[in-house]
Amino acid sequence: MEDRIENIKKQLHSQSYKLTPQREVTVRVLLEREQDHLSAEDVYLLVKDKAPEIGLATVYRTLELLTELKVVDKINFGDGVSRYDLRKEGAEHFHHHLVCVECGSVTEIEEDLLGDVEDIVESKFEFDVRDHRLTFHGVCKNCHN
Ligand SMILES: [Zn+2]
Ligand SMILES: [Zn+2]
């Protein structure tokens, strides 16, 4: 955890931003709940438990900054809510998601399955792929039993 904070601090410094105490609380919440896909509102409620003086606007600005600096990815699973997902350390690509339409569970796939697709896109469309995101909607193992 402290290593990750240290790395995120460096990432901010390299772009001339500081990991202020307020920003650090938000980062800690994201690290503690790394498996979850929290909305700004969710993050705010968890931040408030640790630091009641921090307002929603501050949390929101921090999340936007972290998104801009590619510390987190903003993702939408089709329910109109933006969720924030920490990038895996050293990950070249955003991880993929399996969203269950029955129970709403979200499973992460960390392997990059799209190497071949990228090659086709790059050659056929002369498009220089930097990243991609992939969400499958379906029924999870627990729900189809
Ligand atoms: Zn995720
Ligand atoms: Zn399910």
Tell me, yes or no, whether 118 and 103 share the same domain.
yes
Tell me, yes or no, whether 44 and 70 share the same domain.
yes
Domain span at 107: 91-145
Helices (H), the chain: 2-14, 21-32, 40-50, 56-68, 115-125
For ligand 1, the distance from its centroid to the CA atom of residue 103, given in whole angstroms, is 16
Into how many domains does the chain fold? 2
For ligand 2, the distance from its centroid to the CA atom of residue 98, given in whole angstroms, is 10
Number of the ligand closest to the Cα of 142: 2
Q: Which of 63, 89, 115 is the last residue of a domain?
A: 89
Question: Could you tell me which of 58, 20, 18, 11 has the C-alpha nearest to residue 3?
Answer: 11
The string of pLDDT tens digits covering residues 61-117 is 999 999 999 899 999 988 899 999 998 877 667 789 999 999 999 999 988 788 889
- The reported pLDDT for the residue numbered 24 is 97
For ligand 2, the distance from its centroid to the CA atom of residue 21, given in whole angstroms, is 38
Tell me, yes or no, whether 6 and 70 share the same domain.
yes
Tell me, yes or no, whether 51 and 20 share the same domain.
yes
CB atoms within 10 A of CB 59: 24
- The reported pLDDT for the residue numbered 32 is 95
Residues lining ion ligand 1 (Cβ < 5 A) are 85, 108
For ligand 2, the distance from its centroid to the CA atom of residue 119, given in whole angstroms, is 33
Helix axes 56-68, 40-50, angle to 10 degrees: 120
Question: Could you tell me which of 87, 99, 78 has the C-alpha nearest to residue 31?
Answer: 87
Which amino acid is residue 78, in one-letter code? G
CB atoms within 10 A of CB 119: 11
Distance between CA atoms of 119 and 8, rounded to whole angstroms?
A: 31
Tell me, yes or no, whether 75 and 134 share the same domain.
no
For ligand 1, the distance from its centroid to the CA atom of residue 109, given in whole angstroms, is 8
Could you give the count of Cα atoms lying within 13 Å of 10 in the half-sphere of its Cβ?
Answer: 6
> Which range has the worst mean pLDDT, 19-23, 35-39, 92-96?
92-96
Tell me, yes or no, whether 78 and 96 share the same domain.
no
Q: Which of 53, 71, 89 is the last residue of a domain?
A: 89
Tell me, yes or no, whether 126 and 84 share the same domain.
no
pTM listed for this prediction: 0.82
Tell me, yes or no, whether 26 and 83 share the same domain.
yes
Tell me, yes or no, whether 22 and 79 share the same domain.
yes
